[in-house]
Amino acid sequence: MKTIKGPGIFLAQFLGDAAPFNSLESICKWSAGLGFKGVQIPTWDSRVIDLQKAAESKTYADEIKGIVNAAGMEITELSTHLQGQLVAVHPAYNELFDGFAPADKRGNAAARTEWAVNQLKYAAKASRNLGLDAHATFSGALLWHTVYPWPQRPAGLVETGFKELANRWLPILNEFDANGVDLCYEIHPGEDLHDGVSYERFLEATGNHNRACLLYDPSHFVLQCLDYLEYIDIYHEKIKMFHVKDAEFNPTGRSGVYGGYQGWIDRPGRFRSLGDGQVDFKSVFSKLTQYDYAGWAVMEWECCIKHPEDGAKEGAPFIQNHIIRVTEKAFDDFAGGGADETLNRKVLGL
């Protein structure tokens, strides 16, 4: 077994225009001061990284790595969640997702998709230059507007949707394979990869591509009423990344999974700061350790109640206290008799 690395922190929810959140150097020092040992970097934020430059210049990548290392930290992974979303966008969501793209690509779906695909390819090369072996992203969605089958979905619609999604991602997956990096999809509502079955459909459509892996985040499964512990049993061989994020689901007689179009504070399903929700993290960490998960435990903070700085301050020790330092010997070794084939045969009556 392996001891999970951490605690790490995903910087996306903390970056801002005021110090110490406005540069890679200062936010790394702030994170390290709270007890974090690694940072997951959102590649769409130029305050912390120039993705194309990191892909094309090993020298620049080394500079980024050096800034992080100087704060006593490591880079856990890079993230292209926003760019990945734009690899596949149904026209109904064009205006809503245009904000994820550069200004000169907005209003032009084809140009936006091309930009997103190139961003993912840069991410593969940048990850290699930084010495990383896993990367986080979203799948995007062509079918999400049909998630509830009313009106009835036309025959073959789902198959066509996943075939097209796979066609868009295969060149990207091949680029990640060429660079020795696993591409980890965060399974998430709003994406065509939103649960185990949809991931399996996509995996099959890609010809079971060996780089089509998973980012495990139990909070999204709490909100879907999905068994997030059995999910680890089923998919542990594909889980290469881990977001430590808490959530709660408290349905009422007025609202359930779909939330009634309410804001986060009033929804039955809400993301919470670590320890304030319902995720059984002791079991989560135990299962991941049991299955030899060798990656990072990275806090992704999202909470509609608690201040983010308090969530981060509490998050580092929460993760540290859940990481299991694996044993190097069996607990009953003291009663062992050593290896003796003659004795073994005698015990078996042979």
**8 Å CB contact between 297 and 285:** yes
What CATH number corresponds to the domain at position 46?
3.20.20.150
Q: What's the pLDDT at 330?
A: 74
Residues 273-303 pLDDT 10s: 999 999 999 999 999 999 999 999 999 999 9
Q: What's the pLDDT at 162?
A: 98
> Position of tokens 């512990």?
229
Q: What pTM value is reported for the model? A: 0.95
d(CA 9, CA 123): 19
Task: Print the domain residue range for 87.
Answer: 5-347
Residues 294-341 pLDDT 10s: 999 999 999 999 999 999 999 999 999 999 999 887 777 766 767 789
Q: What's the pLDDT at 338?
A: 72
Smallest Cα–Cα separation from 172: which of 131, 215, 116?
116
Residue ranges, the chain, pLDDT below 50: none
Q: What's the pLDDT at 166?
A: 98
State both tokens at 204: 């099959």
Residues 9-28 pLDDT 10s: 999 999 999 999 999 999 99
The number of folded domains in the chain is 1
Three-state secondary structure readout of the chain: CCCCEEEEEEHHHCCCCCCCCCCHHHHHHHHHHHCCCEEEEECCCCCCCCHHHHHHCHHHHHHHHHHHHHCCCEEEEEEEHHHHHCCCECHHHHHHHHHHCCHHHCCCHHHHHHHHHHHHHHHHHHHHHCCCCEEEECCCECCHHHCCCCCCCCCCHHHHHHHHHHHHHHHHHHHHHHCCCEEEEECCCCCCCCCHHHHHHHHHHCCCCCCEEEEECHHHHHHHCCCHHHHHHHHCCCEEEEEECEEEECCCCCCCCCHHHCCHHHCCEEEECCCCCCCCHHHHHHHHHHCCCCCEEEECCCCCCCCHHHHHHHHHHHHHHHCCCCCCCCCCHHHCCCCCHHHHHHHCCC
d(CA 12, CA 81): 10
Q: What's the pLDDT at 335?
A: 66
Q: What's the pLDDT at 102?
A: 97
Q: What's the pLDDT at 158?
A: 98
